[in-house]
Amino acid sequence: MTHIITSPCIGTKDQACTEVCPVECIYDAGEMYLIHPDECIDCGACVPACPVSAIFPEEDVPAGEESFIPRNYEFFGT
């Protein structure tokens, strides 16, 4: 399982999440950051670091934000 970055990240792109990720699996995807699903170890360190509360475990992505799940996988070709 991976974590998913959702719409509050768009335009914000605060690097706090990238700084705490122990495996450096958060990448700049243009307007926002995305988490590589094959590299994420599901540690959750990025969740409290995000100042806009944009990161969720995949199974807990809020209603209305589900479109970010396939967007995340497609960006990395997985």
Q: What is the pLDDT of residue 78?
A: 79
Split into its structural domains, the chain has a count of 1
Residues of the chain with pLDDT > 70: what percent? Answer: 100
Contact, 51 vs 16, CB < 8 A? Answer: yes
Q: What is the pLDDT of residue 29?
A: 95
**Residue range(s) defining the domain that contains residue 13:** 3-76
pTM of the model: 0.94
Note the pLDDT tens digit of each residue in 3-25: 999 999 999 989 999 999 999 99
Nearest Cα neighbor of 30 from 47, 10, 44 is 10
CATH of the domain at 10: 3.30.70.20
